Chains A and B, each alone.
Chain A
Amino acid sequence: MNHVPANIKAAKSRLIVIGNGMAGMRTVEEILNRAPDKYDITVFGAEPRVNYNRIMLSPLLSGEKNFDEIVINTPEWYRENNIHLYSGDPVVEIDRIRKVVISKSGTETEYDRLLLATGSDPIIIPVPGHKLSGVVTFRDVDDVDVMLGAAAKGGPAVVIGGGLLGLEAAVGLQARGMDVTVLHLAGHVMERQLDPSAGYLLAQELERRGITVITEADTAEIVGTETVTGVRLKDGRMIPADLVVMAVGIRPNGRLAADTGIAVERGIVVDDVMTTSDPAIFAVGECVQHRGQCYGLVAPLFEMAKSCADHLTEIETDGYAGSVTSTKLKVTGVDVFSAGDFSGGGNTEEIVFRDAGRGVYKRIVLEDGKIKGAVLYGDTTDGGWYFQLMKDGQDVTELRDTLAFGQAFAGGSAGNPLDAVAALPDDAEICGCNGVCKGSIVSAITEKGLTTLDEVKGHTKASASCGSCAGLVENLLAATLGGEYQAATVKPICTCTDHDHDSVRRLIIAKGLKSMPAIMQELEWKSSDGCHVCRPALNYYLLAAWPGEYVDHGASRFINERVHANIQKDGTYSVVPRMWGGLTNPRELRAIADVADKFDIPTVKVTGGQRIDLLGVKKEDLPAVWADLNAAGMVSGHAYGKSLRTVKTCVGQEWCRFGTQMSMSMGVELEKMTWGSWMPHKFKMAVSGCPRNCAEATIKDFGVVATDGGWDLHVGGNGGIHVRATELLCKVTTDEEVKEYCGAFIQLYREEARYLERTAPWIERVGLKHVQERVVDDAENRKALFDRFMISQQTAQKDPWAERASEGVDAHEFKPLSMVAAE
């Protein structure tokens, strides 16, 4: 058994945190903000990873976010703050007499103060079959991985539970291509957060999206032998399913506390400063029971974290007084908000507003002139305002007539968002997820000199979780800084959209968008059919995402790629046939000479990429020129494309007395493998037969340099305005390896780089290490990348010249109209 001795040289108290989740880490952050040197902090987490934002599992499932984006604290953060993190090694026992915790691996660690943040467990209904393979909960990243695995195969899925979490799971799975049925025991979905009217509107919207909702559905049995095949209801109905997600609720996890004899009822019992029945042990988050209440939302956790941190750093505090909560459904395109008690009846009055055309429903419940609860569907802009009025207990009698129209109407601010935000009191809550009020944001902006949304996120956590208050925070920045503030967080592709390149690429896959109209509809393009900036990018992203399936859209390509030649300044074109590895022969040269004569081509030039350029060809002549070149066995050199251009070679061991490898034949093989592939930008390669590097391979996108024992593979170089030499990707020995690494590297570039981003800036952005991890270190991933590349090549390697010269493709491009009649 390991034994970690007490830290004898430090006078610091030792704080151990059990639970690496949101509540525990938020408490640690609050402590560090107040007294960074007070504690020597050790964290034990059950999950084998850094801490992440659990409320972002839904966007992770739907593909709107990736894991890196939902990480709250990186490994660097733990290091910088001297926090010892044991992830994947949960504590299994607390010895309160010796004040030590014992982890699963047997490590014993001493504490002076112990903080329990063990969260909650998903409730599993013990119906027959609940242990079958394919039955999961929706609680952590591992659950999401299982769900994604099932979704990749498609097929039917059943979500048991039509609450907040269940519906988010259903929408995510449906977006991933599964046929989803939601089974819900109550009469309408989200019955704890919504009244029947809003529940009805929500169910309708879900049905419109293709999700089946069955209410009053009581599960009798999950059916299957080893793997789940369906769910049978008590009324006998059978619903087929390859995946069953149980999302019926959570239960505070107080096992560890109970085992050690601390008072646990529904949750771990704590007082207002989060102390348990043992004065050295504290608890925060979903595991606690405070004044008889247990919470499953984030805002209360953060309020608890503050009170607990105040107490642990000996700051005078009023303590935690319990939370009034509001909820929002995190489903893109569905706006639902509720807060307080909206059950009605008794002495309450209701204000109801409906706009069927816009699908808006608002219901505000009043008691004694004050807001007691609110349900909003379709338009939740004023949710925060109602919530604030409710928490403040403000008398709204005077606002009553116009209350339903929201703050803009009531405040007389004529809807100017800057005025509205300026008018808010300092204690108005801006970020509901993280419990940040206006005053703390404004003082952070002025005291710390913050100027961007990201900085505000970093310093205050406002809008760092669900992000729905980002607009409010930006308005606060603008109102506080005046003209100095310039909003620019993501750079949209163009003025047609607010999405940037990366989010569009991700959503194309996540939402299964397979055509340009589908992208523009689903991602809410602001123009009817895009523009010359976004259309070529979208066309490429679709080609890369759905090889063999997506049909290239010529009208969305720049003229060069549409007519497979380079437009020149006088409107004529240049034609460059492919010369594999820079090699040619008398037959090809004769054909080129004949074509130049026959079509009066004024300029014939040798290019920098070791081939021959015919300049000044008239557009109408292009198909005939290509036909003659095709007849001599030549194909398009794609000298005009965002695609594989040339593979430059030196003569190598074939001829050169210094050559150590066959660079010409390697060049030819690489070019034969990669030609025709569309890429984010042009892509050049070279192969040198010895380290003298006569083919200048170290300023290419992919450069191969022979050594005595094999090949050095270089990436990310280019000439041009900013000359950049390559970086060494790795060394390989066999020719087959050169080809596999080459294909894998190209595919990674095709899948990850932004349109019109060459490999040099791409690698500078993501880092060479990122590329090496995927292409060099991970053999399985390299193979998968290579296979995906070769699959896309099956449909990409078709000579565009031949299609146009002899198969009549795009004939309209090359033939002018003529006057058929005049009057």
Chain B
Amino acid sequence: MTNNLTWVEVGPAANIPQQGARTLQTQTDRIAIFRTLDDQIFALLDRCPHKQGPLAQGIVHGHFVTCPLHNMVFSLETGEAQGPDDGCAAKVECKVIDGMVRVGLTELQAGLRHAG
């Protein structure tokens, strides 16, 4: 699937607050784009696998985010839930080129093909 990604630019990394996140609405869902204290950028679907909590609203620490609804902690690198909890938040491809954040969307997310 990775080879069919559509890369979109969403502006400079500096527009995302350190230890914070912003969201990007796609055709099918919402993506949370995080910036950590060491200025790395990560992206997950903005939906906790537990009760669909908006991960972009969570507290960002190290390369982790804590879901605001029930405090589950997810790795920003892999999306895996940490500690005793099971579950995995969906990872979204992203990269920074010349300070600009690019996100890799699937064809559905990019609206190139309609669902169903």
Is B8 a contact partner of A821 (Cβ separation < 8 A)? yes
Is B22 a contact partner of A816 (Cβ separation < 8 A)? yes
A734 in the interface, Cβ–Cβ < 8 Å?
no
Contact of B51 among A530, A558, A569 (CB under 8 A): A569
Q: Which residues of B contact A423 (CB under 8 A)?
A: none
* Candidate in A529, A557, A818, A819 with the most chain B CB atoms within 10 angstroms: A819
Which residues of chain B from 3 to 46 have any CB-CB distance to chain A below 8 Å in the complex? 6-11, 15-20, 22-25, 30, 33, 37-38
Q: Which residues of B contact A562 (CB under 8 A)?
A: 57
Is B10 a contact partner of A817 (Cβ separation < 8 A)? yes
Number of interface residues of A (CB under 8 A): 30
A527 in the interface, Cβ–Cβ < 8 Å?
yes
Is A556 a contact partner of B22 (Cβ separation < 8 A)? no
How extensive is the interface on chain B, given as a class? 35 or more
Contact mask for chain A residues 696-732; partner B; CB cutoff 8 A; 1 contact, 0 none: 0000000000000000000000000000000000000
Taking CB as reference atom, which chain A residue is nearest B31?
A: A817
Q: A819-B8, A822-B110 are in contact. Are A528 and B16 (CB under 8 A)?
A: no
Contact of A531 among B6, B9, B51, B66 (CB under 8 A): B66
Which residues of chain A from 504 to 541 have any CB-CB distance to chain B below 8 Å in the complex? 527-532, 535-536
Is B8 a contact partner of A822 (Cβ separation < 8 A)? yes
Q: Which residues of A contact B8 (CB under 8 A)?
A: 819, 821-823
**What number of A-B contacts does a CB cutoff of 8 Å give?**
95
Is A812 a contact partner of B17 (Cβ separation < 8 A)? yes
B53 in the interface, Cβ–Cβ < 8 Å?
yes
Is B68 a contact partner of A812 (Cβ separation < 8 A)? no
Is A559 a contact partner of B7 (Cβ separation < 8 A)? no
Given the complex of chains A and B, what is the CA–CA distance between A820 and B54 in angstroms? 23
Is A529 a contact partner of B19 (Cβ separation < 8 A)? yes
Is B10 a contact partner of A535 (Cβ separation < 8 A)? no
Taking CB as reference atom, which chain A residue is nearest B53?
A: A571
Contact of B25 among A812, A816, A823 (CB under 8 A): A816
Taking CB as reference atom, which chain B residue is nearest A556?
A: B59
A567 in the interface, Cβ–Cβ < 8 Å?
yes
Given the complex of chains A and B, what is the CA–CA distance between A557 and B59 in angstroms? 7
Is A532 a contact partner of B61 (Cβ separation < 8 A)? yes
Query: How far does the Cβ of B14 sit from chain A's closest Cβ, in whole Å?
Result: 10
Is B23 a contact partner of A569 (Cβ separation < 8 A)? no
Q: A822-B8, A823-B7 are in contact. Are A535 and B61 (CB under 8 A)?
A: yes
Given the complex of chains A and B, what is the CA–CA distance between A767 and B61 in angstroms? 36
Query: How far does the Cβ of B53 sit from chain A's closest Cβ, in whole Å?
Result: 7
Given the complex of chains A and B, what is the CA–CA distance between A815 and B16 in angstroms? 11
A-side interface mostly: loop
Query: How far does the Cβ of B77 sit from chain A's closest Cβ, in whole Å?
Result: 14
Taking CB as reference atom, which chain A residue is nearest B12?
A: A820
Q: A535-B61, A819-B9 are in contact. Are A559 and B15 (CB under 8 A)?
A: no
Given the complex of chains A and B, what is the CA–CA distance between A567 and B69 in angstroms? 8
Is A571 a contact partner of B54 (Cβ separation < 8 A)? yes
Is A817 a contact partner of B7 (Cβ separation < 8 A)? no
Query: How far does the Cβ of B16 sit from chain A's closest Cβ, in whole Å?
Result: 7
Given the complex of chains A and B, what is the CA–CA distance between A556 and B19 in angstroms? 8
Given the complex of chains A and B, what is the CA–CA distance between A569 and B8 in angstroms? 30
Q: Which residues of A contact B57 (CB under 8 A)?
A: 559, 562-563, 567, 571
A555 in the interface, Cβ–Cβ < 8 Å?
yes
Is B22 a contact partner of A529 (Cβ separation < 8 A)? no
Q: Which residues of B contact A528 (CB under 8 A)?
A: 37-38, 62
Q: Which residues of A contact B24 (CB under 8 A)?
A: 816-819
Taking CB as reference atom, which chain A residue is nearest B37?
A: A529
Q: Which residues of A contact B64 (CB under 8 A)?
A: 531
Q: Which residues of A contact B30 (CB under 8 A)?
A: 816
Q: Which residues of A contact B17 (CB under 8 A)?
A: 554-555, 812
Given the complex of chains A and B, what is the CA–CA distance between A557 and B110 in angstroms? 33
Q: A571-B52, A818-B24 are in contact. Are A529 and B10 (CB under 8 A)?
A: no
Q: Which residues of A contact B62 (CB under 8 A)?
A: 527-529, 531
Q: Which residues of A contact B79 (CB under 8 A)?
A: none
Q: Which residues of B contact A570 (CB under 8 A)?
A: 52
B60 in the interface, Cβ–Cβ < 8 Å?
yes
Contact mask for chain A residues 307-323; partner B; CB cutoff 8 A; 1 contact, 0 none: 00000000000000000
Q: Which residues of A contact B51 (CB under 8 A)?
A: 569
Q: Which residues of A contact B53 (CB under 8 A)?
A: 571
Query: How far does the Cβ of B9 sit from chain A's closest Cβ, in whole Å?
Result: 4
Q: Which residues of B contact A529 (CB under 8 A)?
A: 19, 37, 61-62
Given the complex of chains A and B, what is the CA–CA distance between A500 and B15 in angstroms? 36
Given the complex of chains A and B, what is the CA–CA distance between A614 and B11 in angstroms? 34
Q: Which residues of A contact B58 (CB under 8 A)?
A: 532, 559
B89 in the interface, Cβ–Cβ < 8 Å?
no
Q: Which residues of A contact B59 (CB under 8 A)?
A: 531-532, 535-536, 555-559
Which residues of chain B from 46 to 84 have any CB-CB distance to chain A below 8 Å in the complex? 51-54, 57-62, 64, 66, 68-69, 71, 73
Given the complex of chains A and B, what is the CA–CA distance between A257 and B101 in angstroms? 83
Given the complex of chains A and B, what is the CA–CA distance between A812 and B20 in angstroms? 10
Is B66 a contact partner of A820 (Cβ separation < 8 A)? no
Query: How far does the Cβ of B103 sit from chain A's closest Cβ, in whole Å?
Result: 8
Is B68 a contact partner of A820 (Cβ separation < 8 A)? no
Query: How far does the Cβ of B113 sit from chain A's closest Cβ, in whole Å?
Result: 15
Q: Which residues of B contact A823 (CB under 8 A)?
A: 6-9
Given the complex of chains A and B, what is the CA–CA distance between A822 and B11 in angstroms? 11
Given the complex of chains A and B, what is the CA–CA distance between A816 and B103 in angstroms? 14
Query: How far does the Cβ of B33 sit from chain A's closest Cβ, in whole Å?
Result: 7
Is A819 a contact partner of B37 (Cβ separation < 8 A)? no
Which residues of chain A from 552 to 584 have any CB-CB distance to chain B below 8 Å in the complex? 554-559, 562-563, 567, 569-571
Given the complex of chains A and B, what is the CA–CA distance between A812 and B24 in angstroms? 12
Is A532 a contact partner of B22 (Cβ separation < 8 A)? no
Taking CB as reference atom, which chain A residue is nearest B61?
A: A531
Q: List 11 A-B contacts (CB under 8 A).
A: A527-B62, A530-B61, A535-B59, A555-B20, A556-B19, A571-B57, A816-B24, A817-B15, A818-B11, A819-B8, A823-B7
Taking A556-B59, A569-B69, A817-B10 as given, write out 7 further A-B residue pairs in contact, using a Cβ cutoff of 8 Å, ordered by the A residue number.
A531-B66, A536-B59, A558-B68, A559-B59, A559-B68, A571-B52, A819-B8
> Which residues of A come within 8 Å of B, CB atoms?
527-532, 535-536, 554-559, 562-563, 567, 569-571, 812, 815-823
- Smallest CB-CB A-B distances: 4 pairs: A532-B66, A555-B19, A532-B59, A559-B57
